[in-house]
Amino acid sequence: MTHILTLNAGSSSLKYGLYDATDPPRPLTTGKVGRIGGTARLSPADGPARDLPGVTDHATALISVLSELHNTHPKARVTAVGHRVVHGGLDYDAPIRLTPEILTKLDALSPFAPLHQPHNLAGVRAAISAFPDAAQIACFDTAFHRNHPFVNDTFALPRRYYEAGVRRYGFHGLSYDYIASDLAQHEPDLSRVIVAHLGNGASMCAMRDGRSIASTMGFSALDGLPMGTRSGQLDPGVVLYLMDQEGMSPGQITELLYNQSGLKGLSGLTNDMRDLEASSDPRAAEAIDYFTFRIRRELGALAVSLGGLDGVVFCGGIGENSAMIRARVCEGLDWIGISCDADRNAANARVISPEGSPVRVMAIPTNEEIVIARAALALG
């Protein structure tokens, strides 16, 4: 028996999965190193969690994951490693088996997603050293959105920027791919669906018949919703002001917009939604107000793009677990067919709208790992 390893480096987490290389891949174990950059903690799905002192970044987190897997599955023979890679640029609209040339091309896309792409590619390189004979497969977060209509793909800049790749790529594609396959299997009657992936990174996607037609994320993973530490949509005039009047360098603005803004910047407290929900500080409440306000604003815009709405799906750490955020998003939206049943919502039920509701509102745990494992099986 051979095995597939999946690696999914988020902005503050490293999720992993070990699978039998069967069709479909059978999960043996999954887990996560969370709060990287703070007090890193390893949480295997099937064992006790423990702190990882000394783990300060994604590369050291990966070493801990490999040692954990070596202890729990000493006989595993990894023949394919599937990686989440945030940016595939214009060239990659499907998973691909990596070569040194492709890896170099992907390095060149790091400025488009500086918070993720370098971590993803560091993970690829660490996996090549750990498993030199295994196939390395990249699965791109941008791929699911590559066929957007022109109006959702472009900015109103002179044409030459579009030709040079300054486009709306959209991200979280593996998560949306998973939700699309879940909906195709379990809710085949739903055509026009908005999916809200609400984690430390957050975005929304409008899908028609399982295909993305619009995303709140654009050229970079900064656009759209406010996130744990990212600003989300911002008037570009603010960036000009920071440069001209505050004398900030591109590096300082990058640090501000990617690492010091969003829920953390607005609350002045934390990027963690659980901690914000528990806080009595009025700034925590204002950060949550802004988060839900922007989700609702995008919901309206995406519903118009779809020409109506059949379903709404919440996923990601916040979307799957926070009944409060889901209730706040759905509040007073009966006029577009959205409502939320308090008991179903509190129980984290799959369908949280009342029976017979015109729009089916759901909370569906996403599974980016299985999407990666399927691709690694197919291409490994």
Which residues does the annotation place in the binding site for Mg(2+)? 8, 368
Is residue 200 close enough to count as binding ligand ADP by CB under 6 A?
Answer: yes
Total residues interacting with ligand ADP, rule: CB under 6 A: 17
The alpha carbons of the chain give a radius of gyration, in whole angstroms, of: 20
The kind and range of the H/E element at 207 are strand 202-208
Do 35 and 12 meet the contact criterion of CB atoms below 8 Å apart?
A: yes
Give the torsion through C-alpha atoms of 93, 99, 101, 107, to 10 deg: 70
Among 177, 182, 272, 341, binds ligand ADP (CB under 6 A): 272
Task: Please give the angle made by the CA atoms of 107, 152 and 146, to the nearest 5 degrees.
Answer: 45
Among 207, 317, 329, 374, binds ligand ADP (CB under 6 A): 317
State the catalytic residue, choosing from 23, 141, 289, 334. Answer: 141
Least gap, CB of 368 to ligand ADP (angstroms)? 9
Known binding-site residue numbers:
8, 15, 84, 197-201, 272-274, 317-321, 368
Among 6, 11, 142, 292, binds ligand ADP (CB under 6 A): 11
**Alpha-carbon distance 78 to 71, whole Å?**
14
Q: Which is nearer to ligand ADP, 13 or 212 (CB)?
A: 13
**Alpha-carbon distance 53 to 50, whole Å?**
9
Tracing tokens 């423990």 back to the chain, one arrives at: 50
Is residue 199 close enough to count as binding ligand ADP by CB under 6 A?
Answer: yes
Is residue 218 close enough to count as binding ligand ADP by CB under 6 A?
Answer: no
Among 173, 226, 228, 262, binds ligand ADP (CB under 6 A): 228
Q: What does the block give as tokens for 234?
A: 């911002």
Cα 5 from chain centre: 19
CA distances from 346 to 308, 323, 350, 356 (A): 27, 6, 11, 19
Q: Which is nearer to ligand ADP, 225 or 359 (CB)?
A: 225
Least gap, CB of 341 to ligand ADP (angstroms)? 19
Among 124, 318, 333, 338, binds ligand ADP (CB under 6 A): 318
Q: What does the block give as tokens for 235?
A: 């008037």
The kind and range of the H/E element at 202 are strand 202-208
The residues near 355 (Cβ < 8 Å, ≥ 6 apart) are none
b/e sequence 267-298, b meaning 16+ C-beta within 10 Å? bebbbbbeebeebeeeebeebbebbbebbbeb
Least gap, CB of 228 to ligand ADP (angstroms)? 6
Q: Which stretch binds ligand ADP (CB under 6 A): 4-12, 51-59, 109-117, 134-142?
A: 4-12
Taking the alpha carbons at both ends of the chain, their separation in whole angstroms is: 14
Q: Which stretch binds ligand ADP (CB under 6 A): 142-150, 158-166, 199-207, 240-248?
A: 199-207
Q: Which is nearer to ligand ADP, 262 or 380 (CB)?
A: 262
Q: Which is nearer to ligand ADP, 34 or 380 (CB)?
A: 34
Among 9, 10, 31, 373, binds ligand ADP (CB under 6 A): 10
Dihedral sign of CA atoms 25, 26, 28, 33 in order: positive
Nearest position to ligand ADP, beta carbon: 317
Least gap, CB of 2 to ligand ADP (angstroms)? 28
Residue 338 CB-density burial (10 A; 0-12 exposed, 13-18 middle, 19+ buried): buried
Q: Which is nearer to ligand ADP, 270 or 353 (CB)?
A: 270
Least gap, CB of 330 to ligand ADP (angstroms)? 16
Length of the chain: 380
341 is catalytic: no
Least gap, CB of 87 to ligand ADP (angstroms)? 16
Give the footprint of ligand ADP on this chain (CB under 6 A).
10-13, 199-201, 228, 272-274, 277, 316-318, 321-322
Query: What residues are annotated to the active site?
Result: 141
